[in-house]
């Protein structure tokens, strides 16, 4: 069986939290949104990973850096979606998915684009041990 990736864990969590789906519906995409995606939507991706070591061996615990970028038409919509995403992931723990903890590290707001789209990137530290995907 395949192992559950940190991206699958993050996506599953975001799609399972009502506060997120009330704002984003199921518009949560890996790496890139589909062309002409309806706003608001979110895109997630792994940006870094670091396996934790002890003097005797690997702990099998890996810290992943995960970016979740939210796109919206208005600042209000952006704020609402961003708060929902952070609320869903901050302090989240799910041992059945190997998630030992997820913590918000930073946020970066992007200026309005030429297309009139606002965005914010939330970076999370996700601590996960390997588990088999269901």
pLDDT digits (tens, 9 = 90+) for 50-73: 886 666 766 788 999 999 999 999
Mean pLDDT of the chain: 90
Q: Give pLDDT, residue 122.
A: 97
The domains of the chain, with CATH numbers, are: 6-51+64-128 (3.30.2000.30)
Spatial strand order of the sheet with 118-128 comes to 28-30, 41-53, 58-72, 118-128, 99-110
Q: Tokens representing 14?
A: 């975001």
Q: pTM for this structure?
A: 0.89
């Amino acid at each position: 069986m395949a192992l559950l990736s940190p991206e699958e864990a993050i996506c599953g969590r975001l799609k399972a939290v009502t506060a997120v789906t009330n704002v984003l519906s199921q518009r949560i995409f890996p790496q890139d949104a589909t062309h002409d995606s309806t706003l608001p939507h979110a895109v997630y991706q792994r940006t870094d990973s670091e396996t934790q070591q002890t003097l005797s061996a690997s702990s099998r615990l890996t810290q992943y850096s995960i970016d979740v970028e939210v796109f919206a038409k208005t600042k209000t919509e952006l704020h609402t979606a961003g708060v929902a995403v952070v609320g869903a992931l901050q302090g989240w723990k799910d041992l059945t998915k190997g998630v030992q903890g997820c913590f918000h590290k930073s946020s970066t707001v992007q200026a309005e684009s030429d297309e009139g789209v606002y965005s914010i990137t939330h970076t999370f530290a996700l601590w996960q041990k390997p588990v088999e995907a269901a």
